[in-house]
Structure 1
Amino acid sequence: LHAGVKHKNARFAATVFHLWHPEQDRTQLPVNQERLQNLLRSNTVRARIGLDKLGSV
């Protein structure tokens, strides 16, 4: 998000196609929302342990 990528809420403003799937458990939703808010407040650009740490595939 801090590498020039914009986070935008497009609710009611864009056409979206979504495949149906069963609803997932939302007990962790508050924790996940807090993690997103922390990320938005930080200057983090990439994951500490990302795909580049996995080596060749």
Structure 2
Amino acid sequence: MKISVDPERCYGSGDCVYRVPSVFTEVDGFGAVVPGREDAGDDPLVREAAESCPSQAIAIS
């Protein structure tokens, strides 16, 4: 399952980076997926981060 972060929706709370630093990072103050980790959508911690994202910017497809 693919993970993506919509830069238009993200306002940089950093919650995803705090929860799963092996998958999420910050770029210019906004959340982003670590290159090469786009397929980590099956990880329960990633799903939790997506569900908890305050701006609902994380998508798993």
Whether these two folds match at TM > 0.5 is no
Greater C-alpha radius of gyration: 1
Interval of TM-score (by shorter of Structure 1 and Structure 2): under 0.3
- The TM-score, its normalising length taken from structure 2, stands at 0.21
Q: Which structure exhibits the higher relative contact order, with contacts defined as CA atoms closer than 8 Å and separated by 6 or more residues?
A: 1
More helix by share: 1
Compare the two structures and name the one with the higher strand fraction: 2
TM-score (norm 1): 0.22
